Amino acid sequence: MPAIVQAPPPGLPAGLRGDYAAAGADFTLPQDHAAYTAADHATWRRLFARQTALLPRHAAAAFRKGLDRLPFAAGVPDFAATSAVLRAATGWSLVAVPGLIPDAPFFAHLAARRFPVTRWIRRPEELDYIVEPDVFHDAFGHVPLLVQPDFADFLEAYGRMGEVAARRGALKPLARLYWHMVEFGLIREQGGLRAYGAGILSSSAETVYATGSATPRRLRFDPARVLRSDYFIDDLQPTYFVIDRYAELFAAMRELPAMLEVARDAAPIPPGAPDPADLPI
Ligand code: HBI
Ligand code: FE
Using a 10 angstrom Cβ sphere, with 0-12 exposed, 13-18 middle and 19 or more buried, the burial of residue 34 is exposed
User: Measured on CA atoms in the order 112, 44, 197, 152, is the torsion positive or negative?
Assistant: positive
What pLDDT shows up at residue 57? 96
Which residue puts its alpha carbon closest to atom 7 of ligand 1? 100
Q: Ligand 1 atom 5: the closest Cα is on which residue?
A: 100
Q: Whose CA is nearest to atom 13 of ligand 1?
A: 175
Write out residues with Cβ below 6 Å of ligand 1. Answer: 97, 100-101, 103, 106, 116, 133, 175, 178
Tens digits of residue pLDDT in 156-212? 999 999 999 999 999 999 999 999 999 999 999 998 999 999 999 999 999 999 999
CA distances from 217 to 7, 117, 133, 272 (A): 39, 30, 25, 7
Q: Which atom of ligand 1 is nearest to the CA of 162?
A: 17
Q: Which of ligand 1's atoms lies nearest the C-alpha of 102?
A: 9
Residue 198 CA to ligand 2 centre (angstroms): 6
Per-residue pLDDT at 7: 57
Residues of the chain with pLDDT below 50 are 1-6
Asked if 92 and 114 touch (Cβ cutoff 8 Å), the reply is yes
How many residues are given for the chain?
281
Q: To 5 degrees, how large is the angle CA 174–CA 178–CA 182? A: 160
pLDDT for 8 equals 61
Give the domains, in start order, of the chain with CATH numbers. Answer: 22-265 (1.10.800.10)
137 is in an annotated binding site: yes
One-letter-per-residue 3-state SS of the chain: CCCCCCCCCCCCCCCCCCCHHHCCCCCCCCCCHHHCCHHHHHHHHHHHHHHHHHHHHHECHHHHHHHHCCCCCCCCCCHHHHHHHHHHHHCCEEEEECCCCCHHHHHHHHHCCEEEEECCCCCHHHCCCCCCCCHHHHHHHHHHHHHCHHHHHHHHHHHHHHHHHHHCCCHHHHHHHHHHHHHCCEEEECCEEEECCHHHHCCHHHHHHHHHCCCCEEEECCHHHHCCECCCCCCCCCEEEEECCCHHHHHHHHHHHHHHHHHHHCCCECCCCCCCCCCEC
Which residues, other chains included, contact 190 with Cβ-Cβ below 8 Å and sequence gap of 6+?
none
Query: For the whole prediction, is pTM greater than 0.85?
Result: yes
